[in-house]
A and B are shown apart, each in its own frame.
Chain A
Amino acid sequence: MTNSTPHNINRRTLLRSTGIIAASGAVLAACGSSSASKTITRIGETPEITKLGDATVTDVVLLRTAMSVETMARIILTDTTFASLAEKTSAAVVAGFARAHTAHLTNLRSLISSRGGEAYEEPNEKLMASYGTQALGLVADGKNPDDVLPLTLAIETLVASMYQYFVSLTNEPALRASMIRMGAQSSRAAAVTAQLINPGIGAFAPGVDKDGVATVATLPSAFGALNAVQVQLGPVNPETGSRTTVSMDTPSLNSFIY
């Protein structure tokens, strides 16, 4: 029988084990790449988190964002390739819609400056990257005149939806009315475009053609919709037999111009 008790052995073993683990850890940490970090991460220590600044959606932010979307709409509708594909009748109509967006920009500049804000003259970078550039690229690839009116319809519907959505975020009631006036004009343009694609009073309601494919409806819903606008553009994919569907969303918190 020895004098040592299980308690002493356990304590020693524990100390030894801890020492070995600590030493191994230090060696392994030293072997790590120095490019990742200059400091060794230690238990109980977290990297300092830089807080994002507060981004409040003010009326001026909404107006600046509206400017960025109106600019994007004007850029798409006046794109050289896009405009060159349009037939004579539709070309004049699309050019008229582009002028309306320019008029909206003038109106927006005035609304922003009267509120002490700064106008935003660039297209919405995030939305252009999300779908604007892709849509124009598909039109250029397909070189199909049939793409002109559907893309115009999508753009006008998108702008109308944006203003409708912005009403729910706007503080000043009078400004809500100013926004919906511009939205209503885009909504009218969308209805006219839908009639150019699928004319007649029979095309007011949603329907299907003889092949069961959904037709373009002039009045697709009783209330203004806020869902993403989808449009098929570009060349037919020989493998799938379909064209690319571009989904266009109204601006949101990550694409607002603060």
Chain B
Amino acid sequence: MDNHQVESPESSVTTRRRLLSALVAGGALASAAPILAGRASAAGDGTNAPSRDPRDNNALNNALAREARMVGTYRLAVAAAAADDEVAGLTLILDHHIAYVQAIKGYLGPDAEAAPETPLSNPSGSVKSMASSLAQLEDQTATIHTDILAILSGMGGAKIIASIVIVEARHAAALSVFSGLTPLAASGN
């Protein structure tokens, strides 16, 4: 009985060809990936805003300056409060403003300008009476930030400012209720 060794001289060539084809195809796919990803992203959300725009630095530094002054104001308010729950409530808002300063400063990095904590007012008297003026400052700050949001090109800065405005609106309403305003008036309705 003859034993025939089946030879396949083409097999090594085919494998090499396949390997080369696969490499070429893989390379083409890898090159196209960013383009495809860009299209997928564009289909997912309609924004073509840059993540960061150096032209925003001035507006963001203004937001930083305002937040630093809010920190200075709340430091005085906390020092003026006596009752534990009042100190705790005002310290919570102080901590929020410190977080805003840190967030904007962190985003700006070396482009962040000096932001002194010069108080916007000198809160004194009962916390209820302080709450009213602090609520007004919160309102003003939220309005300033909203105006800044309207001119920001970079999406990173816009996201930070938007997430700050949403909570500063809460600060304003909470302080308004605490100061004795009716719920509807405190909600801005």
Chain A interface (Cβ within 8 Å of chain B)?
5-7, 54-59, 61-62, 89, 92-93, 96-97, 99-100, 160-161, 163-164, 167-171, 173-174, 176-177, 180-181, 183-185, 187-192, 194-196, 199-202, 204-205, 218-219, 221-224, 253
Contact = CB atoms under 8 A, between A and B. Distances in A.
Given A92-B184, A169-B47, A201 B85 contact: yes
Given A96-B189, A219-B167, A176 B150 contact: yes
A132 B85 CA distance: 37
B162 A180 contact: yes
Interface string B92-103: 110110011001
Contact of A93 (B48, B93, B151, B183): B183
Nearest to B83: A201
A222 B150 CA distance: 22
B52 to A, nearest CB: 14
Contacts of B187: 93, 96-97, 100, 185, 188-189, 191-192
A101 B23 CA distance: 58
Given A167-B158, A180-B149, A205-B92, A188 B172 contact: yes
Nearest to A178: B150
A8 B183 CA distance: 96
B166 A183 contact: yes
Contact of B186 (A55, A99, A170, A188): A188
Contact of A180 (B48, B146, B186): B146
User: Which of B48, B100, B155, B172 has the most A CB atoms < 10 Å from its CB?
Assistant: B155
A171 B50 CA distance: 10
B89 A170 contact: no
A contact patch SS: helix
Interface of B: 1-2, 4, 42-49, 85-86, 88-90, 92-93, 95-96, 99-100, 103, 127, 131, 142, 146-147, 149-153, 155, 158-159, 162-174, 177-178, 183-184, 186-189
Contacts of B163: 164, 223-224
Contacts of A202: 85, 88-89
A26 to B, nearest CB: 32
Nearest to B127: A201
Given A177-B149, A185-B187, A223 B99 contact: yes
A192 B178 CA distance: 10
Nearest 7 pairs of A and B residues by beta carbon: A224-B166, A177-B150, A202-B85, A201-B89, A184-B169, A191-B173, A188-B173
Contacts of A201: 85-86, 88-90, 127, 131, 178
A179 to B, nearest CB: 8
A170 B173 CA distance: 27
Contact of A56 (B42, B86, B88, B150): B42
